[in-house]
Amino acid sequence: MKRLVLLFLFVSPFFLKAQIPVDLSRFKRNGSTVSVSKKVITVSWPTGKSASGKMVLDLDQNKPLFNRIFLSKNGTFKEVAKNLDPAFVLRVGKRTLSPASGGWDVFFDRVPTRPYTTNLVEFDKRKASVQTNGSQTIIKISQLKSTTFSGDLEITLYNGSPLFNVAAVLSTQVDSTAILYDAGLTSKTDVWGSIAWSDVKKQMQSVKPALTDQSKNLEVKYRTVIGENKAGSLALFPAPHQYFYPLDEAFNLKFTWYGNNYLNLIPGFGIGIRQDPLGDKRYVPWFNAKPDTKQRLNFFCLISTEQAETALAEVKKFTHNDSYIPLPGYKTMASHFHNEFISDVALSGKPIPEKPEFVEVLKNTGLNIVKLAEFHGPGHPKGPDSTRLKELSSLFEQTKRLSDANFLLLPGEEANNFYGGHWLAFFPKPVYWVMSKNENTPFEMNDAKYGKVYHVGDKNEMLKLLEQEKGLAWVAHARTKASTGYPDKYKEEAFFKSDTYMGAAWKAIPADLSLPTLSKRVLDLMDDMANWGLKKHVISEADIFTITEQNEMYAHLNVNYLQMDKIPKYEDGWQPVLDVIKSGKFFVSTGEVLIPSFNINGKGAGESLKLDQLGKATVNMQLNWTFPLNFVEIISGDGNKVYRDRINLNATQAFGKQTFKWSINLKGRKWVRVEAWDIATNGAFTQMIWLD
């Protein structure tokens, strides 16, 4: 007996090491299948069009994880890739958490100017599990480690599409941490037949790589790099908006890479995505990594039995070719662009191009209406009058010239005077005004050349001007950047409570890879303003400077879908645009999730709904999407608290359209709105419905 015990004690460590446990207790057939043989997990899933994908994963520590990746064509599996390992590089820096700069909502941070580390994430295959989550199949493998971070690798397969996601899900307990990551798929023995990508001119490029080729960073269009073999292709790309931390510029910083020994950290030849730690070399805040949050350092892969160009065409469908598609009954609008065309070109003495590049770029993005924010630095908002009025005259002249029947380029400014913080002014026609006033200067006067001219000296006159000219104002980058603390600091002011103050603008600041949504900063403000008893709205904003074809524009953009049947003519004024915004008849989107229709008990966004005594309500909502949906959240408030009802939509598949109906009790609530988010953290949200 003693011999048997000793033999067992001697053999069991080797047995346990040879047999990596795989937990299948939460796996249920949803169209996918899984089998386990010793250290090998084989998972297949339906990819649509009667095809299937298959992935063979090897849990042997000394072998590549992705042993084989297949996709069927005409009933026959073709080997698209083999002998690949996921690789992640994690940069860890220190976050500035001063309340004066917004705490975790900070933008004015320069993380890479302080000491930071750059390390390969270590992968130790100790155990694994396979589970289903609606139409998704998730393979989780432990364990990952890097500096103070630890966690698991997650591979998610999506039924109905040859798409999968690879994520290092990591947490730290260290406070004040900011991170950045690069990632990809690598091989020590095999190399792709070719590496392909689209250049910024939308032309396909490719190289024949060798295993020893030193790694190279690529400037690409559509954020995608593709490994190609005779049997097919594997396209690798990030979440289109989530992966890009906020910057003031949309420069193309070579966000993909291929080659051997990347950063002298990743052994073997790989393809992948990357971030430039120095960003645009101005304010570079990286990503928040709060203690104990699960940061998803992830990328997507799409497999195809076709060659690279066809695979890229399939990837581009997820972002509508990086554009905002037309929606019947709506016009697309984007706001807050500091391109400074007037100062830098029109008034600089340079030749004025008939078709400026920035206009063509915005048109090609599918935008119908663009509101500028000129003179944000080079202008003279406070005068002298001769300079200020000349600048405004040129702004009105050029925006009129560059507008047409399908594109309305509108003048606008980030005023930043009188109210506190930064805010945008928007008038329904050209208005000449100077943001200063001498003691003897009248509020309103007539100029022989320019006509009516206003001089504004304080917040009361600013409100008077907006009322008189039917203008709107809203806070830019609320609670962060130069608006840290606003609009909270002036929420009791008459100008803020006025109907001329529309609300706030939303942009994905800050960035946090643990959240299933993009920035909650202004979404939370939206709820707060409603609980303050104010009927305000939130539009999207870009807040970027340079606009070129070369730039990575789409990642930093967002859009407002305004309920309008036609675009006003510039010469007739654009009061209808302001009317739609003021009434809340629009929704905000990153582009991949759309809300063609929305009402609660027949009342739409911006309207008031009288509930019965029981508070029963039905949310009616049509959604169109590209990536599979993740969830819808119905958010409501009672003037004090905020309530959230989340509806799981993980049974959806890619490229869908559906009308949903959900019953909800809104008794005691004063307002309600709805958000919808997909698995790549793209989303859309409605404006408020006010409840009586």
Instruction: Report the C-alpha gap between 243 and 319 in whole angstroms.
Output: 14
| Tokens representing residue 4 in the block | 């048997």
Share of the chain above pLDDT 90, in %: 95
Share of the chain above pLDDT 70, in %: 97
DSSP H or E stretch at residue 612? none
pLDDT band at 584 (very low <50, low <70, confident <90, very high): very high
Instruction: Report the C-alpha gap between 119 and 127 in whole angstroms.
Output: 23
**Mean pLDDT, residues 26-55 taken together:** 96
| Tokens representing residue 156 in the block | 């998610």
How do strand 451-455 and strand 559-562 relate by DSSP bridges? unpaired
Q: What is the pTM of this model?
A: 0.96
pLDDT, tens digit (0-9, with 9 covering 90-100), for 362-397:
999 999 999 999 999 899 999 999 999 999 999 999
Question: At which residue do the structure tokens 């083999």 appear?
Answer: 82
Secondary structure in 3-state letters for 87-154 = EEEEEEEECCCCHHHCHHHCCCCEHHHCCCEEEECEEEEEEEEEEEECCEEEEEEEEEEECCEEEEEE
For the cut 90, the answer to whether the pLDDT of residue 45 exceeds it is yes
For the cut 80, the answer to whether the pLDDT of residue 17 exceeds it is no
Instruction: Report the C-alpha gap between 273 and 185 in whole angstroms.
Output: 10
pLDDT, tens digit (0-9, with 9 covering 90-100), for 250-279:
999 999 999 999 999 999 999 999 999 999
CA 63 to chain CA mean position, Å: 36
SS3 of residue 608 by DSSP = strand
SS3 of residue 226 by DSSP = strand
Instruction: Report the C-alpha gap between 302 and 138 in whole angstroms.
Output: 16
CA 1 to chain CA mean position, Å: 64
Question: At which residue do the structure tokens 């559906």 appear?
Answer: 658
Q: Give 436's DSSP letter.
A: -
Q: Which residues pair with 146 in a beta bridge?
A: 149
DSSP H or E stretch at residue 302? strand 295-304
pLDDT value at residue 6: 38
Instruction: Report the C-alpha gap between 335 and 324 in whole angstroms.
Output: 14
From 330, 355, 273, select the one nearest 684 (Cα to Cα). Answer: 330
Burial 188-208 (b: 16+ CB within 10 A, else e): eeebbbbbbbbeeeeeeebee
pLDDT, tens digit (0-9, with 9 covering 90-100), for 296-347:
999 999 999 999 999 999 999 999 999 999 999 999 999 999 999 999 999 9
Instruction: Report the C-alpha gap between 540 and 557 in whole angstroms.
Output: 9
Instruction: Report the C-alpha gap between 537 and 278 in whole angstroms.
Output: 35
For CA atoms 519, 525, 530, 536, give the dihedral sign.
Answer: negative
Instruction: Report the C-alpha gap between 11 and 216 in whole angstroms.
Output: 47
DSSP H or E stretch at residue 494? helix 494-497
- What is the maximum span of the chain, computed from C-alpha positions, in angstroms? 111
> What is the CB neighbour count within 10 angstroms for residue 166?
24
Is the separation of the CB atoms in 90 and 78 below 8 Å?
Answer: no
pLDDT band at 18 (very low <50, low <70, confident <90, very high): low
pLDDT, tens digit (0-9, with 9 covering 90-100), for 230-245:
999 999 999 999 999 9
pLDDT value at residue 15: 40
Instruction: Report the C-alpha gap between 157 and 512 in whole angstroms.
Output: 23
Instruction: Report the C-alpha gap between 366 and 546 in whole angstroms.
Output: 18
Is the separation of the CB atoms in 372 and 383 below 8 Å?
Answer: no
For CA atoms 136, 139, 144, 149, give the dihedral sign.
Answer: positive
Task: Find the radius of gyration of the CA atoms of the chain.
Answer: 27
Instruction: Report the C-alpha gap between 406 and 415 in whole angstroms.
Output: 28
